[in-house]
Amino acid sequence: MKVLKFGGTSVGSPERMMQVADIIAGVQGKKIVVLSAVSGTTNTLVSMSDYCENEQKDEAKKVAEELHSKYHEFVKNLYKDEAYVKSNIEFIDQKFSDINNLIEERFTEQVAKMFVAQGELISTHLFTEYLSSIGKSAVLLPALDFMALDEYAEPDLKTTKVKLENLLSSLDENVIVTQGYIARNAAGGTDNLRRGGSDYTATIVGAVLKVEEVQIWTDIDGMHNNDPRLVDNTRPLAHLSFEEASELAYFGAKVLHPSCIVPAQMNEVPVRIKNTMDPEAHGTLISNETEPEKVKALAAKDHITAIKIKSNRMVMAYGFLKRVFEVFEKYRTPIDMITTSEIAVSLTIDNSDHLKEIIEEIGKYATVEVDREQAIICIVGDHIASRKGVGTAIFEAMEEIPIRMISYGGSRNNISLLVPHDYMKDSLIKLHKALF
């Protein structure tokens, strides 16, 4: 069995959906097809939800109406058979009547989650109907029946496995379609795996079922050795280890959801990134294998906050770091980079939702300085930190750039540098020249 995931652009128009049907027909054996929402839809749903939160219901209705008519066009162009057009227009009308009811409701977090879930519910329905309209047997398996989150809103793999295996045991179809991104939370409500979460759905499903391969079909020919939006002459990487791909996904390569490699790696399920626009291209294969001691890729993550914490009494004091980390744990805020000296510790966070509380608590026993709008530049490759000459090449390339923090040797696959956001692009370009 394989899991095939198609992103928003891959199902972004009726023509693209037809092409997805061709691609899955070309893959042998049983497959679970995970779909994102049609591109643009989730953003539109988020904007509706934001309007409702700000009590601008009329604005929300206007946006809903525009999206509604877009889907009418979509349906008319997707099906040849009039009966399919008719029944799917009815489906769309029903969906938008549900959306309008959500707009009327009192706004809550739960309502927000219901809004953003609609995109995948629509795309999977339309696609399964399309397969049936061209005479292909397929079944739609609702993700809300098996994708489970725990009390911390993280995927609950055990429950997901039990539920999914149970449901699959009674299905004979070779093609099983399901929604990416959406999941059921511990309280039983509709929830999601955060933006870009369809990749995560695919690797979770692949991991719990220990499938042969997870394919992530997207609009680029794999992960590149640098950010193609910022740097010229980047190239796709044929092969990455799980560790390398994980570091890249987390530190800014936007191709994959930052957490999605973890379940695949835990269960040793290879992940292949493929290009829907160019299905013959090799793409990137992510597996257990590594190409030793090579600088593989660069990536950057911006909007990072750096925090410097200086203890008045840190010299030879133990227990200080423990107190610091406990504050971050209390506010469930992950720390990305960290460096220490005898009298201070600097660290970075991506999520600054609780920055104010964190500063207040630590400020009771230490001096805290905050620098916003920093960027982490991440250099990835197997054993790069121990490879001769890499350090020199990096520092020479970064000669003109103020480096705020360095993390070297924390992982054998990664060297990270923190620079002010304004130097991010320049750093990527200079390092690209020096390292590739």
Distance of alpha carbon 114 from its chain centroid, rounded? 19
Task: Give the Cβ contact number of residue 164 at 10 Å.
Answer: 23
Minimum Å gap between C-beta 99 and ligand ASP is 15
CB distance 200 to 212 below 8 Å: no
Under the binding rule (CB under 5 A), the answer on residue 119 touching Mg ion is no
Closer to ligand ASP at the Cβ: 110 or 411? 110
Residue 119 site contact among ligand ASP, Mg ion, none (CB < 5 to 8 Å, cut-off depends on kind)? ligand ASP
The stretch near Mg ion (CB under 5 A) out of 6-14, 180-188, 232-240, 399-407 is 6-14
As given in the structure block, the two tokens for residue 184 are 């059921």
- Helix, strand or coil for residue 273? strand
| Side-chain half-sphere exposure of 317, counting CA atoms within 13 A | 18
Minimum Å gap between C-beta 113 and ligand ASP is 12
Under the binding rule (CB under 5 A), the answer on residue 196 touching Mg ion is yes
Determine the Cα–Cα distance for residues 285 and 270; give it in Å rounded to an integer: 7
| Side-chain half-sphere exposure of 301, counting CA atoms within 13 A | 24
Under the binding rule (CB under 6 A), the answer on residue 42 touching ligand ASP is yes
Sign of the CA dihedral running 376, 381, 384, 390: negative
Sign of the CA dihedral running 226, 414, 7, 424: negative
Under the binding rule (CB under 6 A), the answer on residue 196 touching ligand ASP is yes
Strand pairing of 271-275 and 213-218?
A: parallel
Under the binding rule (CB under 6 A), the answer on residue 20 touching ligand ASP is no
Under the binding rule (CB under 6 A), the answer on residue 8 touching ligand ASP is yes
Determine the Cα–Cα distance for residues 26 and 18; give it in Å rounded to an integer: 13
Under the binding rule (CB under 5 A), the answer on residue 197 touching Mg ion is no
Q: What x-and-dash track marks residues 148-187 binding Mg ion by CB under 5 A?
A: ----------------------------------------
Under the binding rule (CB under 6 A), the answer on residue 258 touching ligand ASP is no
Minimum Å gap between C-beta 42 and Mg ion is 10
Interhelix angle for 57-78 vs 109-133, to 10°? 10
According to CB under 6 A, which one of 76, 158, 195, 235 is a site residue for ligand ASP?
Answer: 195
167: closest CA among 141, 129, 190?
141
Under the binding rule (CB under 6 A), the answer on residue 383 touching ligand ASP is no
CB distance 183 to 154 below 8 Å: no
Under the binding rule (CB under 6 A), the answer on residue 181 touching ligand ASP is yes
- DSSP one-letter code for 229: T
Closer to ligand ASP at the Cβ: 102 or 298? 102
- DSSP one-letter code for 334: -
Under the binding rule (CB under 6 A), the answer on residue 37 touching ligand ASP is yes
Q: Which of residues 104-143 bind ligand ASP (CB under 6 A)?
A: 119
Closer to ligand ASP at the Cβ: 202 or 309? 202
In degrees rounded to 5, what are phi and psi of residue 84?
Answer: -65, -40
According to CB under 6 A, which one of 155, 197, 206, 258 is a site residue for ligand ASP?
Answer: 197
Q: Site for ligand ASP (CB under 6 A): how many residues?
A: 12
Q: Site for Mg ion (CB under 5 A): how many residues?
A: 2
Under the binding rule (CB under 6 A), the answer on residue 12 touching ligand ASP is no
- Helix, strand or coil for residue 379? strand
Closer to ligand ASP at the Cβ: 245 or 379? 245
Binding site for ligand ASP (CB under 6 A): 7-8, 36-37, 42, 119, 180-181, 195-198
Binding site for Mg ion (CB under 5 A): 7, 196
